[in-house]
Homo-oligomer: A and B are copies of this chain.
Amino acid sequence: MPTYFYVQRNAKFNTTNIAIPFQVARLNIGGAFDLSSGIFTAPRTGTYFFSFIGLPEFLTSSTVSQMLIDLFWNGNEVGRGVSEEANTLGGQNEQLSIQSTLRLNAGDKIWVQIISMTAGMFLYDSAGSHHNHFSGWLLEEELSLS
C-alpha cells in the first residue's frame, strides 16, 4: 500500500513542545498523516523519508534570536532544524529545514515540534501562500517471511 503525504499550514503557529498541526493535505495517500494532531503513524515496517521546511518570523532585535524545530520519532529527537539571526527587523523571516531517512516499525509515530524560540517569534503562514511544508513517504516496505 503506497504511503505519501504533503501537508501545509493556513496560519501562523507559536506553541512550543507539541506536534505542529497542519490544515491542508495536498496529498495523504494511505491516510497515515493526521492533520489536526500533526502526527504521522507508519502503516508498515520499512524505510521512510521525511522533509520539513518551516518559516520562522523574527522581531526587531540587535541580539541573536532563534527558533529550533526537531523531528521526533516516538518522542525521541532525530534531528534539528535551526533558524538564527542577529540584528533583525520586525517581519523578517528565515527558513529552516530537516530531512531524515529512517527505518520505522509499523505504528511508529513521527512529527515536528518547536523545541525553543525567542519570545515573540512564530512560524509565519497564510491561507493564500503556503510557507511551511511537510512531506513523507514510504520508500520501501520491509517484507518478512516469518
Contact = CB atoms under 8 A, between A and B. Distances in A.
B89 A88 contact: no
How many protomers of this protein does the assembly include? Answer: 3
A136 to B, nearest CB: 8
A82 B131 contact: yes
A130 B93 contact: no
Interface string A123-144: 0000001110101010110000
Interface size class of A (residues with CB under 8 A): 35 or more
A129 B77 contact: yes
Interface of A is mostly: strand
Nearest to A51: B99
A102 B93 CA distance: 26
A92 interface: yes
B139 A8 contact: no
Contact of A49 (B129, B131, B135): B135
Nearest to A60: B86
A35 interface: no
Contact of A86 (B8, B55, B89): B89
B129 A70 contact: yes
Given A84-B94, A94-B94, 9 more contacts: A27-B103, A66-B93, A79-B131, A79-B133, A82-B94, A83-B94, A86-B92, A98-B133, A99-B133
